[in-house]
Amino acid sequence: MSSPNQYFVLIVPACAALLGIAMIYCWSRLRDHRYLLWIASGYISTAIPMGIHSLMPNEQLARWTLPLSAMYLYGVWALSHGVALRFGGRAHPRLAGAIVLVTLGLLFYFSQIDDDLWLRLQILNWGLALLVALPVKSILSGRSRTIPLATLLRASYLTALLYAFVRVFALATLIPHEMQPELTRSGLWLLMLATNMFISIWVALAILTSTAMSIVQTLDHERSRDPLTRLLNRRAFFEQVKKRLELYGHSGWAVMTCDLDHFKMVNDTWGHAAGDRALKEFGALLARTVRQDDLAARFGGEEFVLLIRSTSLHTAVLVAERLRNSVMNLHIPATAHTLTASFGVVQLNSNGDINQAIEQADRLLYEAKHAGRNKVVWKAS
């Protein structure tokens, strides 16, 4: 083998190992992204036998077939399992185990009993291709819609799957038995290594880019949410209102303000833990009640604001009444207090001034408080 070719066959496993190390580093900073560790394990576990296999003389391959093949098979399954986890699924470990056992059994026979390098290559590559195919169902599932760059990641992995089967048929049709001694020195072998390197780098970049975008989305989500109730905070509420009004226009909306009655008494009597529990339960009730186009936010303390998609003020008032009745059914452990809430509801006027509408709804809310609490007060804006 010429010196340039020797260097090249080492570049491919070295790249795979470096990709694995990069994944481990990312996982060390992002422990919640467990799939990164599996993918890292896959890259490193395939890099080791790839380097040994490319440099080892063919006459020694039979002796090392089983350990090298076991590392290949584990590495490919680990990578497949990691990708499946990224899409919220699994790479069928029991089925994978069966594929690995059958593959290793056949490899043992054709290395220790009936030495046949050509058949060993076919068997190993079929086993690898089947392992690559295991996460396809997870990749194509509807859950992938929430993953950033899901289309790119899906296309990258399916390209790797296609290549795995193309490699099987290329080895079966382009390498006759008489070429066995020269296999790892052939141009086809170098082409396969180059393709492996390109696809490995491409898939790794797709995974890392998707992960980075997930982190950005998570940070943006956390920045937009009230930490206790997980509803929108004040800033995010106004941002979303602007988008809603630009998308749907200013008509057909109602603004609702509400807060829990006697909330200070709950804090003073049963402690802040009970008060926080009351806010969380009320926030969860609002989240369950609002529809896709509606918005619910906590502005601070026990004050909440909603933007309701409503063709009439009457419809929005019915929503408020339903909420008012539901609040009284909320149970706060370790307290003997029945929660109630007061509401102010206005129709958003044609100019869409959300601040003016909130101020008017607040005035109605205070009217409800002064009228005895646990009431809904409304007025056309």
Active site residue 359: no
The torsion region of residue 374 among left (phi > 0), alpha (psi -120 to 50) and beta comes to left
- CA nearest 8: which of 67, 43, 37, 50? 50
Residue among 222, 239, 281, 302 flagged as catalytic: 302
Token pair 């290594």 in the structure block, residue: 193
Give CA–CA dist 266/239, Å, rounded.
32
Token pair 């926080």 in the structure block, residue: 276
How many degrees, rounded to 5, is the angle at CA 93 between CA 91 and CA 99?
100
Complete edge-to-edge strand list for the sheet that includes strand 303-309: 295-300, 303-309, 253-260, 341-347, 376-379
- CA nearest 259: which of 299, 298, 303? 303
- CA nearest 295: which of 328, 260, 248, 364? 248
Give CA–CA dist 44/78, Å, rounded.
10
Give CA–CA dist 24/38, Å, rounded.
9
User: Which residues is 346 bridged to in the sheet?
Assistant: 255, 379
Give CA–CA dist 158/141, Å, rounded.
14
Q: Is 36 exposed, middle or buried (0-12, 13-18, 19+ CB in 10 A)?
A: buried
| Helical axes 187-224 vs 234-248, angle rounded to 10° | 100
Q: Which two tokens stand for residue 154?
A: 């899906």
Q: Catalytic residue positions?
A: 302
